[in-house]
Structure 1
Amino acid sequence: MSLVTMNFESQYLNSSHQISIILPNRPRGIDAKDYYESNKKYKVLWLLHGTYGDHTDWVRRTNIELYACEKDLIVVMPSALNSNYSNWDKAMMGFGMYDYLTKELMPLIYNWFPASDKREDNFIAGLSMGGRGTIKFAANYPEKFAAAAVLSAAPVNFHELTEEYLQSDNMFAIRTKSMVDNAGGLEAFLNSNENVWDILESLAGTGKLPRLMFACGTEDEIIYQNLKIFKKHAEEIGLEAEYWTLDGYRHEWRFWDLAIQHALEFFGLEDTGASPY
């Protein structure tokens, strides 16, 4: 398996930026020239990290390189700081993570690497903050992804936000208030791409959404409770999704390593018999 670390100046992030890319392995026994000149286009997984993380998290803390090799899959892992995969126009010189993924990173990957840009060949997944990013991209750009796996995250009903909650010192409240302020106030926030709850409701039953999977450990207390609330709402609005949970797991890498394996199966990616060795 080839692991690429790429540094480039990003138009949308207004800075130099690093990404990690896993590329398929040349099988032993196949001539290098024939393999690299085949013009084959590979399926792509856009894999998002969580809060406090970066582009190295998935490679350092899971066996994603092994799983990608078995599936003959390209995996693209950007760095998003703690942006919640949103546009922060007033941060520093501007940090447009939401636009960056679709308007800059995708064109780069599709044109500089042997990556397929077909919807049926593209998948997105992420953990925690990256799970929130995953469902946001899947809901707002359903035409770009065949399926999405949301790990240890769940959409919430922002219509239930109260001023008292937004002014509290709870970590989730502090982040939510920052998101609301960044959008220009609560009304603007509720009418933005951030309000995935409403967007999913508008698309439920239309056949436009990617196939959706939500995964969570049962001991991941707040997220697991949010997921149960969302699942009930999804059933009420006719939103189809798979829900995969494991008893005893918390907000932890042991769970995410298992969950990403299940996600690859959910995506329908078959083992090719390729070996990383």
Structure 2
Amino acid sequence: MAWITCDFYSETLELSTGIEVFLPQAKLMTSGSSSRLPVLYLLHGRGADQTEWMRRSSIERYAENKGIALVMPGVGRSYYMDMANGPSYFTFLSEELPQLVQSFFPVSRRREDTFVAGISMGGYGAFKLVLTYPERYAAGASLSGGLDLASRAAGRGFQEAEIRTLFGSVDRLEGSRDDLLYLASEFAAYQGEKPMLYQCCGTEDFLYKDNQTFRQCADSLGIHITYEEEPGGHEWGYWDRKIQRVLDWLPLP
């Protein structure tokens, strides 16, 4: 695969940012110039950046025969949201970034070719995208995601200064568009074709309870999720194994 580091200025964020991109060379060489690649947006965890997937996993090796482009954005510690006192990262991720990626690289604009997955904070971001915009994604995957954000914030999962920066107040989270449990109810009522959902978490992970809460909420709403759990913690040995499962699960042509 070709590895491309792409730096650019974001009008939404009003700052310079960057993405890491893998493109499958064999696919490009054998397909006509009009061919557009399916694309998987890979979201990093809290405290990391856009290089995390490349440094901590073997994602390039796993994806090289899948004929898929990988796009890895960096969002700092924003929790993939429009921050109360900071840049609008969710708007950047959902609106500006796909348009830029489609203009820079030969990736498909079709819903059925567009996927998102993430670990930890990125698992929250991936599910937030597909639950908010089911018409834009064919599949979304959360690996050990922080899926019950309101409870995590109320239970001292964040420092006070970080709460003010991200949310403004913990009280505004529950029932808001940053609350995946609320978004799940809207998703359940959506009448169009729903994206496929994949969720996994290790049973020793500190976010295991959050994942059970979200799973139970989805079950109560009749939302189908491919759910897997096994022994494992909040660490890259587990995620490196599970991303291979995600790549096999994606509805690729």
What is the TM-score of this pair, normalised by structure 2? 0.89
The answer to whether the aligner puts 1:109 opposite 2:78 as a matched pair is: no
CA distance in 1, matches of 2:62, 2:171: 43
C-alpha contact (below 8 Å) 1:183/1:192 kept by paired residues: no
- Pick one of 263, 270, 273 that aligns with 2:246: 263
- Pick one of 223, 234, 252 that aligns with 2:235: 252
* 13-22 or 69-78: bigger deviation: 13-22
- Pick one of 175, 192, 211 that aligns with 2:196: 211
Count of residues paired in the alignment: 252
C-alpha contact (below 8 Å) 2:121/2:146 kept by paired residues: no
CA distance in 2, matches of 1:215, 1:57: 19
Deviations 1:125-155 (A, max 9, x none): 0000001111111111111110100010153
Give 1:204's aligned amino acid: A
Listed as ranges, the matches of 1:166-205 within 5 Å are 166=154, 170=156, 172-174=157-159, 178-179=162-163, 182-185=166-169, 188-204=172-188
Listed as ranges, the matches of 1:1-277 within 5 Å are 1-26=1-26, 35=30, 38-88=33-83, 90-91=85-86, 95-156=87-148, 158=150, 166=154, 170=156, 172-174=157-159, 178-179=162-163, 182-185=166-169, 188-204=172-188, 206=190, 208=192, 209-220=194-205, 222-247=206-231, 249-269=232-252
CA distance in 1, matches of 2:84, 2:214: 30
CA distance in 2, matches of 1:7, 1:181: 25
Shift of 1:185: 4.1
C-alpha contact (below 8 Å) 1:24/1:74 kept by paired residues: yes
What is the TM-score of this pair, normalised by structure 1? 0.82
Paired residue for 1:274? none
Give 2:243's aligned amino acid: I
Change in CA separation of 1:185 and 1:241 when aligned onto 2, cut-off 3 Å: same
**Secondary structure at the counterpart of residue 70 of structure 1:** coil
CA RMSD of aligned residues (A): 2.4
Deviations 1:91-124 (A, max 9, x none): 3xxx221111122110011122110010100000
Give 1:231's aligned amino acid: R
CA distance in 1, matches of 2:243, 2:184: 23
CA distance in 1, matches of 2:118, 2:163: 19
Give 2:147's aligned amino acid: P
Deviations 1:154-207 (A, max 9, x none): 53273x68xxx74x7x3x1437x8457754545643353201101112322645
**Rg larger for:** 1
Paired-residue identity, %: 33
**Secondary structure at the counterpart of residue 87 of structure 1:** coil
**Secondary structure at the counterpart of residue 88 of structure 1:** coil
C-alpha contact (below 8 Å) 1:205/1:238 kept by paired residues: no
Q: Which runs of 5+ in 2 are unaligned?
A: none
Deviations 1:26-71 (A, max 9, x none): 37xx9x6xx5852210000000000111111101111111122110
